[in-house]
């Protein structure tokens, strides 16, 4: 393993790793963290952690990735210095009994993590390939099986089973088992980093912050977290579109104010006064690619559509693959958004696993819904612009965009992949401004550009 030569090198490497993991750390914040190291006791590891966190972490969502990288760059121990609180010749039943005692206690107890490190040292190394061994979490957890100790711990913690006391005890045990699992995984990462290098394990171990997770690669758990980001973005998007819609508009002549102002110029109305335009919420039409190739993106954008419904005077939503159908009714007030998305696959007149044909979609949309797009409408197209080498129907799209007050296209693919294969990104982008929108951060940046 290549180790940094000094604390300065380790600091620089740590800050660089945070940036690589997607945390927004500016050079000024890196200097602030370096100054903080000059006024704390560097021997106090948790003080060092909080000094870095206070200067470098901006959002709670960034903290898990920060903690993981901190443990890699500033490990609590290095191999050869682990404690010896656990007897090396202890039998497995004794180790499980000790684990049960620790799980009933406080995970913050130093003995908790020391036990986890000892168990990784004893059970965690197995042969990964001929002539090569590596470290893993699963053999440790398989040998100790903490979940099978729950009944024993409940009997030790409670005089009588059932009711609220048992619920509280189960919740505590669940938290401590989760903490033990994470302690084992953390020590496995530390040992792999010592053998293979910190940078290598950091690239594979740290997930990007939720606002930088690609829509096309999001897991179910990440999609659940993304839902919490939808409603604030919907409100900001509605506000930006409303501002753009009112820009340049002038209200009607305010006759009374104009006459009153003309008294100072002998009744000549040199200055006219206009009434402020009456504010109103804009209308929105959303065309969303629902094909299987962009399923996670369409899942998120339909969530966004559901949220936008409350922000606009009128929202009409259309899903398409090889043809297009209106799905506005699925998002009626009181509907559950996840149920609506599930019903989409059954009730909409589209083939979810069909071949996307944007040209046919635009022509069918203009034919079936001629009144959908008007001068007060903002048209939002969501899709990857991959049309399976079909006719693009650029003229139809140009006519639709010309009928709308604003038109925008959000593409979930990286810009480097545009115009590769069957992509018509540049062709469509010449008609409707196209923005790369792979994650929440880019969607938020798009919303800000509308101002």
Residue-wise pLDDT for 136-187, tens only, equals: 899 999 999 999 999 999 988 988 888 888 999 999 999 999 999 999 999 9
Residue-wise pLDDT for 409-445, tens only, equals: 999 899 999 999 999 999 999 999 999 988 888 888 8
Contact present, 319 and 344 (Cβ < 8 Å):
yes
The pLDDT value recorded for residue 276 is: 65
Query: In whole angstroms, what is the distance from residue 224 CA to residue 221 CA?
Result: 5
The pLDDT value recorded for residue 88 is: 65
Query: In whole angstroms, what is the distance from residue 70 CA to residue 56 CA?
Result: 12
Tokens of 255: 């006759």
Q: Has residue 253 got a pLDDT over 50?
A: yes
Among the ranges 89-98, 281-290, 325-334, 355-364, which has the highest mean pLDDT value? 355-364
Q: How confident is the model at residue 4 (pLDDT cuts 50, 70, 90)?
A: very low
Contact present, 434 and 428 (Cβ < 8 Å):
yes
The pLDDT value recorded for residue 265 is: 82
Q: How confident is the model at residue 85 (pLDDT cuts 50, 70, 90)?
A: low
DSSP summary character for residue 421: T
Average pLDDT over residues 397-408: 93
- 442 Cβ contact partners less than 8 Å away, ≥ 6 residues apart: 435, 436
Q: Has residue 67 got a pLDDT over 50?
A: yes
Is the overall model pTM greater than 0.85, yes or no? no
Q: Has residue 247 got a pLDDT over 50?
A: no
Q: Has residue 275 got a pLDDT over 80?
A: no
Token pair 């604030």 is at which residue?
232
Token pair 């009928």 is at which residue?
403
Tokens of 243: 């501002």
Report CA-CA distances (Å) from 451 to 237, 375, 407, 412: 9, 20, 15, 22
Q: Which residues pair with 209 in a beta bridge?
A: none
Give the closest residue to 226 by CA, choosing from 71, 443, 451, 391: 443
Average pLDDT over residues 108-122: 89
Residue-wise pLDDT for 352-367, tens only, equals: 556 889 999 999 999 9
């Amino acid at each position: 393993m290549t180790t940094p030569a000094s604390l300065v090198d380790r600091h620089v490497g740590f800050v660089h790793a945070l940036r690589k993991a997607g945390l927004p750390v500016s050079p000024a914040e890196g200097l602030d963290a370096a100054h903080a190291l000059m006024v704390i006791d560097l021997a106090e590891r948790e003080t060092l952690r909080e000094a870095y966190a206070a200067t470098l972490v901006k959002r709670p969502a960034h903290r898990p990735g920060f903690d993981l990288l901190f443990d890699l760059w500033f490990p609590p121990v290095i191999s050869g210095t682990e404690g010896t609180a656990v007897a090396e010749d202890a039998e497995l039943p004794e180790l499980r009994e000790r684990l049960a005692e620790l799980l009933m206690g406080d995970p913050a107890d130093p003995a908790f993590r020391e036990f986890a490190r000892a168990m990784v040292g004893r059970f965690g190394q197995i042969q990964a390939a001929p002539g090569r061994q590596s470290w893993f979490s699963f053999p440790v957890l398989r040998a100790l099986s903490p979940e099978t100790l729950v009944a024993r711990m409940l009997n030790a913690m409670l005089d009588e089973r059932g009711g609220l006391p048992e619920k509280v005890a189960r919740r505590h045990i669940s938290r401590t088992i989760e903490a033990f699992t994470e302690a084992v995984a953390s020590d496995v990462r530390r040992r792999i980093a010592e053998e293979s290098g910190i940078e290598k394990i950091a690239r594979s171990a740290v997930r990007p912050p939720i606002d930088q997770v690609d829509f096309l690669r999001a897991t179910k758990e990440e999609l659940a977290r993304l839902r919490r980001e939808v409603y604030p973005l919907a409100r900001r998007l509605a506000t930006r579109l409303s501002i753009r819609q009112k820009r340049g508009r002038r209200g009607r002549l305010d006759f009374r104010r104009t006459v009153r102002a003309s008294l100072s110029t002998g009744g000549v109305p040199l200055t006219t006064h206009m009434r402020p335009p009456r504010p109103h919420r804009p209308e929105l039409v959303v065309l969303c690619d629902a094909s299987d190739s962009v399923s996670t993106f369409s899942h998120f954008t339909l969530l966004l559509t559901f949220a936008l419904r409350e922000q606009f005077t009128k929202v009409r939503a259309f899903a398409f693959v090889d043809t297009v159908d209106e799905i506005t009714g699925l998002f009626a007030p009181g509907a559950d958004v996840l149920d609506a998305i599930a019903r989409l696959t059954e009730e909409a007149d589209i083939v979810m696993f069909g071949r996307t044909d944007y040209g046919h979609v635009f022509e069918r949309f203009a034919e079936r819904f001629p009144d959908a797009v008007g001068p007060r409408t903002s048209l939002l197209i969501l899709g990857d612009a991959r049309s399976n080498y079909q006719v693009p129907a650029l003229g139809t799209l140009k006519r639709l965009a010309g009928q709308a007050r604003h038109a925008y296209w959000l593409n979930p693919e990286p810009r480097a992949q545009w115009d590769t294969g069957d992509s018509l990104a540049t062709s469509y982008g010449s008609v409707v401004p196209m923005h790369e929108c792979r994650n929440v951060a880019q969607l938020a940046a798009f919303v800000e550009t509308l101002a």
